[in-house]
Amino acid sequence: MADGAIQTNNSSGAAPPGSVRDLLRLWPWLRPYRGYLIFMLVTATLAMVVQSILPLVTAALIDGPIARRDTSGMYPLIGLALLFGVLEAVLFGLRRRAMTTSALAIETDMRRDFYQHLQRLPVSFHDRWPSGQLLSRVTSDLSTLRRFAGFMAVFFFANLAVIVVVLIMLVRLDAVLGISVCVVMAPLAIATRYYERQYNIEARRAQDLTGDLATGVEESVLGIRVIKSFGRRGQLLENFTSDAQRLREAELKKNRTLANLWTVIGSYPQLVLAGVTFFGVLAVAHGRLSTGELVAFITLQLRLNWPLMALGWLIAGTEETVAASARLFEVFDTKSDIIEPESAARLPVNTGPARLQFDRVSFRFPGAETDTLHELNLDIAAGETMALVGPTGSGKTILTALVARLHDVTGGAIRIDGVAVDRLALDDLRRTVSTAFEDPTLFSASVRENITLGLPDASDEEVREAIEIAQAGFVYELPYGLQTRVGEQGLSLSGGQRQRLALARAVLGRPRVLVLDDPLSALDVHTEALVEGALRRILSSTTALVVAHRASTVLLADRVALLDEGRIVAVGTHSQLLATNDAYRNLLSQKAETRV
Amino acid sequence: MTATDTPDGAINESQWRGRYDKREEDAVTEQPPAGRPRLEREARQLLGQLIRPHRRQIILVLALIVGQVSTTMLAPWLIALAIDRGMPQAINGHYRTLTEITGALLVAAATSGVLQWLFLRRSGTIGQAILIDLRRRVFDHSQKLSVSWHERFTSGRVISRLTSDVDTLRELLDASLDGLLLAVLNIVIISVLMVFLDPWLALMALAALIPLFALFRWFSGRSTVAFRRTRETVALVIVQFVETFNGIRAVQSFRREKRNDAIFEGLNQDYRDANSTVFKLHSVFIPGVTLVGNVATVAVLFVGGTRVAEGGLQLGVLTAFLLYLRQFYGPMEDVAIFFNSLQSATAALEKLARVLAEIPSVPEPAQPRALPQPVRGEITFDAVEFSYDAQAERPRIVLHHLDLQIEQGQTVALVGATGAGKTTIAKLISRFYDPSEGTVRLDGVPLAQLTDEDLRSAIVMITQDGFLFSGSVADNIAFGNPGASRAEIEAAARAVGAEEFILKLPEGYDTDVRKRGGRLSAGQRQLVAFARAFLADPAVLILDEATSSLDIPTERAVQRALYTVLHGRTALIIAHRLSTVEIANRVLVLDDGRVVEDGTPQELIEADVKSGGGRFAALHTAWRESLA
Ligand SMILES: Nc1ncnc2c1ncn2[C@@H]1O[C@H](COP(=O)(O)OP(=O)(O)OP(=O)(O)O)[C@@H](O)[C@H]1O
Ligand SMILES: Nc1ncnc2c1ncn2[C@@H]1O[C@H](COP(=O)(O)OP(=O)(O)OP(=O)(O)O)[C@@H](O)[C@H]1O
Ligand SMILES: [Mg+2]
C-alpha cells in the first residue's frame, strides 16, 4: 500500500535532549528585562511573606483583643489585617503587570529575531527544513517560553525558597526528626531528576510531532487542487489522522511520566508524614518531645505539600521550555553559509551592463554524491544576451540561482565585471542581478508592490515601462488597477498573468544583469511575440542569461550555450549550432511534429 | 540606504497592501455575520459535541477525584487520632493502636496516590481523544470546502486554526481540571459547613460572592473580545510567516528582507498588543478575586470579633470559621484561572466552529444520481456563465454564456490568449467551482448531482502547478491510484518517459522529492505529475499546460504516449505550444471568455484561406514562424 506514506517523517528521529544550558542561552533576550524579572521575583516573595503574615495577624487578633473581649483594641489589628489583605492583592497585581510587559516583550523580541534570522538563512536551508517545523517553533515553542519567563521562572525560585525555609525550620524545631525528614525526602529528588530527564525527551518528541502535523496541514492546503482533482480526501484524512495519532501517543507518554512524577511528589511526603506521626508519637511517649512541639512539627510539615506539588508542575514546565529552547537554538545556531564578505569589493562605478563570467564553476547540492554542474566556463560580454538551453534536469535552474548567490558555487567562481560574486556585498550583488524564476511567486500585496519588490522607490514611469515590457497591461483592468491586491490574500491571477508580473518585476529598473528562467513558458504565441519584441529593447542595454526551451525565445539571444548533464557542451549562435550540433538540433527543432 | 529600507521605519500598510474587495475582505477577517452570543453558542455547542462521547469516562474521572479528595482529607483526622488515642497507650508501652493508625495513614496515602495517578491518566486520555477528534473534524471539513474558500481563507489561516487554535483547547484540557473540581467541591462543602456553624456570618461570607460574580462578568465580557483578537492576530502572524518562507527565493533575490522585517514586526506587535490586553485584564481580575476574599475575611473577622466581644458568639466558632474561610476563598483563584483558560479556549473554539459551520459552496449532492457505467466521458456546457467573485462589488465575468458539447473520445485543444479563461473552463469541468449560471454535465448528469467519488474517478485534471507532496517519487505517482502496485507505478512512469531520470536519482523511485518536489527540476516535476494522471486512468483527462516546462524531445515522448493513452478517452488539452495541440481532433479558440472558433485543426487552418481571418490560423502561422 502506498497511501499513508506521503508525509514528513524527517524529524521523528531522536533529537539530542535539551539541557539547562539551553535555558541559560536565553539570557540575551531576558537581559533587557532583567529589572522586571527581579521586580517580579521580589513582589512574588513579598506576596508570599504577606500571605504567611496574614494568619499571624488573625491569630494575634483572636488570642489578643477578641479573647479579652476588648472591642476597641481590635481596631489597629483589624486595620493591619485589612492592609495586608489589600497589599497582597496589590503585589499580586503588580507582579502580573510586570509580567505582561516583560514576558510578552521577550516573546515578541524572540519571534522577531527568529523571523529575521530565518529570512537570512540560505535557500538550501529552507529546501531542507519542513515548513511546519519552523512554524511550530515560532508559535507554540515561543508561547511555552513566554509562560516560563513570565511565570514559571519566578515561581520556581519562590517555591524552592519556601521548601528550603520550611526544611530549615523543621530541623530547628527538632533536630533528629527534622534531619530524618530531610534524609528521607532525598530519594524524592532522585526520582524527580529521573522523571525530569524522561519528560524532557518526551516533550521534545511531542513538539517535533506538532511541527510535523503543521507541515502535513500546510501541504494538504497548498495541494488542495491536486487532492480535489484526484478525489483523495480520504487518503489525506488518513495521513493526517496517523500524524495526529502519533502526536497523541507522544502526548500520552508525556502524560504518563507526568502522572508518575506528580503521584510520587504528591504521595511520598504523605508516607513520610505517616512515619513522622509514628516516630513523633513515640518520641512524645518517651518524653523526648512535647505534644505541642509534635503538633507544630506536623503542621509545619504539611506546609511542604503545596510547594512540592507546585514544584512538580514547574519542573514539567521547565523541561518543556528546555526542549522548546533547544528547538529554537537549533535554528538560531544555523549560520548562513552564504557569507557576506568581510571587506566587500565594489563594482566599478558604472550603470551600464556588466560582464558575467562563469569560471570553472562546479556545484554540488549539499548531501549529494556527485556534482550537478561540472567545471563549466561561460563568458557573457557586457550587453550580450546568452540563451541557456538543455534538456530537462540538466542544471539550468541551478546555474541561474548561482548568480545571485541563492546557492554558492562549490568550485570555481562567478564574476561580475571581473569581481567574484562572493566578494560583493550581498545587497549590492542582488541589486545588480535581477532574476525571474520559473515559478512566479506573488505576495499578498498590491500589484505595484509586487512589481517593485526589489526597488520599493521605483518611479511610476519605471513601473509603467516594466509593465509594458512584460506586456502586463492587464493589471490596469484589475478592479483597483495597480492598487489591486494579488497573491494568496488577494485576487488570484491566471498562470500567464502571474508569469508576466514576475517578468515585470525582474526587468524593473533595467538591472545590469538579468537572469530569466524560462520566462515565457506560460504565454500564448501572440503574447509571447509581443513580450519578445519589448524584451529585445531592453536586452540590448543589459547583460542577460535566458533559460529557454523554445526556439522563439532562443532567438532573443546573441549566443546560445547548450547545457547537458551539468556541462556546457557547445556555445555559438543559434544558426551555427543548428547547423553543426546534432544534439542542439534535436533539442530545439520541432520538425518531427509539424505534420499538420 | 533609502528611507524605505530601514527596518524600523514603519511602513504604512496602505502603501503596500493594496485594495481588495470589501466583502471578500470581511470574509477573510471572519467578521461574523451574527453577533457575539451566536458565536459563543456555536463554540459551546462544539465543546458539548466533543465532550458528549466521553460522558461515562468523565463520570468515572469525577468519582476518582472525589475518592482522592476524601482519602487526602482523612489524613489530618488520622493524625489527630494518633495523638489522642495512640499516644496515651504508647506512653503505657502499648503500641498497637499507634501502629494500626500509622498503617491506616500509609494506606490512605497510597490509595490517594493510586487514585490520583488513575485520575491523571484517565483525564489525559480523554483530553487527547477530544483533541484528535477536533483536529480530524476541522481537517476533514477544511478539505471538504471549496477551492474558492481556500483562496479566500489562505493556507496560513487553516494552519493557524489547526495548530495554534487547537493548542488553546489543549491548554484548557491540561489546565488542572482536578484543581477546579477540588475547588468547587471545597467551596460547596464549606458553604454548607459555614451555614451550619453560623448562618449570619455565613451570609456575610457568601455575600462576597456578589462582587465576585460581578468581577467574573466584567472579565468575561472584556476578555472574550480580547481573546478573539489574539486569535485573529496570531493567524495573521502565521499567514505572513508561511507566505514569506514559501517565497523565500524571491524574498532573498529581491532583497525584500528588510521590508518584510518591518511588516512582520507590525503583525508581531499587533499580536503582542492583543495579548497584552488580555494580560492586563488578568492583572486586575485575578488579584481582584484575592482582594475580595481578603476583604471579606477581614469583615467577617471584624463582625465576628465584635460579636464575640459582646458575647454573642463563641470564640471557637469564630476560629473555625476563619479557617474555613481560607479554604473557601483560596480555591476561588483556581476557579478564576480556569475560567480564564476557558475564555481563551472559547475564543479559539469560536474560530474552529466558524470553519466547521462553513457550508461547502461546491457541496456534494444530498441525493446523488448514479453515473451510467461505463462512463462515456461526454462533457456538456449548458449556457454557462462564470465569475470568480460573483458576490463582489465589481464582479468580473470570466465566461460569458458558454454552450459546448464535447463528445465521447474527443481530444479537444483549448487555445487562446493568456487570461482568456482556459484554465477556468478546466476547473469548471473538474468542479472546483460551480458555474454562476447554467450547468456542466458529464454523460448528461449535472456535475452537481454526482458523488465526489464518481466525479473524481471519471475526471482528472493535471493542474498548471503540478503540486508534489514531500515523500518518495513512487508515492507521488501512486497518488493517482493508491491501490496501484509498484509494477503499475513504474509502468506509468515509463509510459510518460519519466523513468530515465527517476532511475538516475540516488534512491530511484524511493527518493524523497522534498517539500513541493523541490528536489526535482521543473520539468521532472511535470513528468511525475503526468505519470500520476496516467495511473489514475480516468474517462476524462484534462491537461492544463502539463508540458510547458519540458524540453522538446521529452515533450515529444509524452505526446507519443498521449496518442495511445488518449485513445477512447475524452481529453481537454490546454497548451500554448501548438505542437501539443496537433494530437487534437478538435480545436476551440477562446477569447475573453467566449469561444470564437471551433473545428478540426485542419478546418481552422484552412479558414484562414477561405475567410481571411481565422484566429487559430494566425496563431498557427505565428507559431510555425516562431519555430524558425
Ligand atoms: N536539492 C537537490 N539535491 C540534489 N539534486 C537536486 C536538488 N535539486 C535539484 N536537483 C537535481 O539537479 C538537477 C538539475 O536541476 P535543475 O532544476 O537545475 O534542472 P533544469 O535544467 O532547470 O531543468 P528544467 O528544464 O526541468 O527546469 C536535476 O537533475 C535535479 O534532479
Ligand atoms: N481564482 C481566481 N479568482 C479570481 N479571478 C481569477 C481566478 N483565477 C483566474 N482569475 C481570472 O480569470 C481570468 C481567466 O483566468 P484563467 O486562469 O482561466 O486564464 P487562462 O486562459 O487559463 O490563462 P493562462 O493561459 O494565463 O493560464 C483571468 O483574468 C484571471 O485573472
Ligand atoms: Mg528549471
DSSP per residue, B570-607:
EEEEE-SSHHHHTT-SEEEEEETTEEEEEE-HHHHHHH
The DSSP code for B517 is G
Q: What values do phi and psi take at B399, rounded to 5?
A: -120, 130
Where do the domains of chain A lie?
A: 174-335, 356-591
> Which residues, numbered 226 to 245 in chain B, qualify as contacts with chain A under a Cβ-Cβ cut-off of 8 Å?
234, 237-239, 241-245
Which one, of A531, A479, A542, lies nearest residue A509 by Cα?
A542
CB-CB under 8 Å, B242 with A218: yes
What is the pLDDT confidence band of residue B348, given thresholds at 50, 70 and 90?
very high
Strand-by-strand arrangement of the B379-387 sheet: B397-406, B379-387, B437-442, B445-446
pLDDT confidence of residue A296: 80
Is there a contact between B356 and B45 (Cβ–Cβ < 8 Å)? no
pLDDT confidence of residue B493: 92
Between residues A226 and B174, the one the model is more confident about: A226
ipTM of the complex: 0.90
User: How far does the CA of residue B355 sit from the closest CA of chain A (Å)?
Assistant: 14
Which one, of B210, B209, B205, B207, lies nearest residue B304 by Cα?
B205
Residues of A in contact with B147 (CB under 8 A): 224-225, 228
Is there a contact between B71 and B112 (Cβ–Cβ < 8 Å)? yes
- Convert the pLDDT of each residue in A491-539 to its tens digit: 788 888 999 999 999 999 888 999 999 888 888 888 888 898 899 888 8
Q: Is the CB of B212 under 6 A from ligand 2?
A: no
Cα distances from B307 to residues A58, A216, B304, B314, B317, in angstroms, run 16, 69, 5, 9, 11
Question: Which residues, including other chains, have CB under 8 Å from residue B190's CB and lie 6 or more apart?
Answer: B324, B327, B328
User: Residue B380: in which H helix or E strand, if any?
Assistant: strand B379-387
Look at the alpha carbons of A77, A83, A89, A92 in this order and tell me if their dihedral is positive or negative.
Answer: negative
pLDDT confidence of residue B36: 59
Helix (H, G, I), strand (E, B) or coil at A407: coil
User: Residue B88: in which H helix or E strand, if any?
Assistant: helix B87-91
Q: Rounded distance, CA B539 to CA B429, Å? A: 13
Q: Quick count: other Cβ atoms within 10 Å of Cβ B74?
A: 18
Which one, of B542, B150, B463, B386, lies nearest residue A492 by Cα?
B150
Q: Rounded distance, CA B538 to CA A591, Å? A: 31
Is there a contact between A402 and A414 (Cβ–Cβ < 8 Å)? yes
Q: Rounded distance, CA B152 to CA B167, Å? A: 24
Between residues B89 and B465, the one the model is more confident about: B89
CB-CB under 8 Å, B245 with A118: yes
Residues of B in contact with A206 (CB under 8 A): none
CATH level 2 (architecture), domain A174-335: Up-down Bundle (1.20)
Helix (H, G, I), strand (E, B) or coil at A570: strand
Q: Rounded distance, CA A521 to CA B547, Å? A: 10
What's the average pLDDT block by block, 10 residues per block, for chain A (596 residues)? 33 57 88 90 85 78 78 85 90 89 92 95 91 91 89 81 85 87 88 90 93 92 90 92 95 93 89 89 85 81 82 88 92 88 77 89 90 93 92 92 92 91 90 89 89 89 93 89 82 87 90 90 85 88 91 89 92 90 83 42
State the burial class of residue A15 (Cβ atoms within 10 Å of its Cβ: 0-12, 13-18, 19+).
Answer: middle
A516 forms beta bridges with A436, A546
Q: What does the DSSP assignment read for A437-457?
A: -SS----SEEHHHHHTSS-TT
pLDDT confidence of residue B22: 55
| B310 has a pLDDT exceeding 70 | yes
Q: What does the DSSP assignment read for A287-325?
A: TSS-HHHHHHHHHHHHTTHHHHHHHHHHHHHHHHHHHHH
Is there a contact between A221 and B471 (Cβ–Cβ < 8 Å)? no
User: Residue B503: in which H helix or E strand, if any?
Assistant: helix B499-504
- Would you state the torsion angle of the CA atoms of residues B47, B50, B55, B58, taken in this order, to the nearest 10 degrees? -70
Q: How far apart are the first and last CA of chain A?
A: 44
Q: Is the CB of B388 under 6 A from ligand 2?
A: yes
Strands B586-591 and B594-599: antiparallel
> How many residues are given for chain A?
596
Is there a contact between A326 and A15 (Cβ–Cβ < 8 Å)? yes
pLDDT confidence of residue B75: 80
Please state whether the peptide bond connecting residue B374 to the residue before it is cis, i.e. omega within 30 degrees of 0: yes
Residue where the block lists cell 533576550: A29
Q: Is the CB of B524 under 6 A from ligand 1?
A: yes
Highest mean pLDDT among A17-21, B15-19, B206-210: B206-210
CB-CB under 8 Å, A65 with B90: no
**Which atom of ligand 1 is nearest to A399's Cα?**
18
The DSSP code for A63 is I
B610 forms beta bridges with none
| Overall CATH class of domain B36-357 | mainly alpha
SS (H, E, C) B282-299: HHHHHHHHHHHHHHHHHH
Question: Which residues, including other chains, have CB under 8 Å from residue A465's CB and lie 6 or more apart?
Answer: none
CB-CB under 8 Å, A61 with B301: yes
Which one, of A74, A366, A29, lies nearest residue B301 by Cα?
A74
Mutate to test the pocket of ligand 2, among B391, B415, B418, B423 (most ligand atoms within 8 A of CB): B423
Q: Is the CB of B398 under 6 A from ligand 2?
A: yes
Is there a contact between B583 and B566 (Cβ–Cβ < 8 Å)? yes
User: How far does the CA of residue B472 sit from the closest CA of chain A (Å)?
Assistant: 7
Do the domains spanning B36-357 and B379-627 agree at the CATH topology level?
A: no
Residues of B in contact with A219 (CB under 8 A): 469-470, 515
CATH assignment of B379-627, among 3.30.465.10, 3.40.50.300, 3.30.2310.20, 2.30.30.830: 3.40.50.300
The C-alpha cell of B286 is what?
A: 485575578
Which one, of B23, B26, B440, B86, lies nearest residue B232 by Cα?
B26
State the burial class of residue B327 (Cβ atoms within 10 Å of its Cβ: 0-12, 13-18, 19+).
Answer: middle
Helix, strand, coil: what percent of chain A each, to 5? 65, 10, 25
What is the pLDDT confidence band of residue B429, given thresholds at 50, 70 and 90?
very high
Which alpha helices (H) appear in B358-437, and where do they start and end?
422-429
Give the rounded percent of residues in chain B with a pLDDT score beyond 90: 35
Q: Rounded distance, CA B235 to CA B213, Å? A: 33
Give the rounded percent of residues in chain A with a pLDDT score beyond 90: 41
Q: Rounded distance, CA B301 to CA A80, Å? A: 12
CB-CB under 8 Å, B418 with A527: yes
B147 half-sphere exposure, CB direction, 13 A CA radius: 19
Q: Is the CB of B548 under 6 A from ligand 1?
A: no
Q: Rounded distance, CA B514 to CA A129, Å? A: 9
CB-CB under 8 Å, B472 with A5: yes
Amino acid letter, A118 = L
Cα distances from B607 to residues A257, B96, B417, B593, B613, in angstroms, run 79, 116, 19, 21, 7
Mutate to test the pocket of ligand 2, among B152, B153, B388 (most ligand atoms within 8 A of CB): B388
Count A/B contacts: CB-CB distance under 8 Å: 565
What is the pLDDT confidence band of residue B608, given thresholds at 50, 70 and 90?
low
What is the pLDDT confidence band of residue B1, given thresholds at 50, 70 and 90?
very low
Do the domains spanning A174-335 and A356-591 agree at the CATH topology level?
A: no
Which alpha helices (H) appear in A223-288, and where do they start and end?
224-230, 233-285
The C-alpha cell of A91 is what?
A: 503585589
CB-CB under 8 Å, B268 with A497: no
Q: Is the CB of A7 under 6 A from ligand 2?
A: no
**Exposure pattern of A312-341 as b/e (b: 16+ CB <10 Å)?**
bbbbbbbbbbbbbbbbbebbbeeeeebeee
Measured in Å, residue B455 CA sits from the centre of ligand 2 at 23
Where do the domains of chain B lie?
A: 36-357, 379-627
Of B136, B245, B291, the CB nearest to A86: B291
Q: Is the CB of B424 under 6 A from ligand 2?
A: yes
Q: What values do phi and psi take at B496, rounded to 5?
A: -95, 5
Q: Is the CB of A127 under 6 A from ligand 1?
A: yes
Helix, strand, coil: what percent of chain B each, to 5? 65, 10, 25
Highest mean pLDDT among A5-19, B55-69, B568-582, B595-609: B55-69
- Convert the pLDDT of each residue in B66-101 to its tens digit: 888 788 777 877 888 888 888 888 888 888 888 999
pLDDT confidence of residue B285: 92
Give the rounded percent of residues in chain B with a pLDDT score beyond 70: 92
Q: Is the CB of B423 under 6 A from ligand 2?
A: yes
**Exposure pattern of A56-78 as b/e (b: 16+ CB <10 Å)?**
ebbeebbeebbeeeeeebbeebb
- Convert the pLDDT of each residue in A89-144 to its tens digit: 999 899 989 888 899 999 999 999 999 999 999 999 998 899 899 999 999 999 99
Of B109, B238, B388, the CB nearest to A270: B109
Q: Rounded distance, CA B495 to CA B565, Å? A: 9
| B200 has a pLDDT exceeding 70 | yes
pLDDT confidence of residue B331: 79
Measured in Å, residue A501 CA sits from the centre of ligand 3 at 19
What is the pLDDT confidence band of residue B152, given thresholds at 50, 70 and 90?
confident
CB-CB under 8 Å, A595 with B582: yes
| Overall CATH class of domain A356-591 | alpha beta
- Which of B115, B252, B510 should be substituted to probe chain A, the one whose Cβ sees the most A Cβ atoms within 10 Å? B252
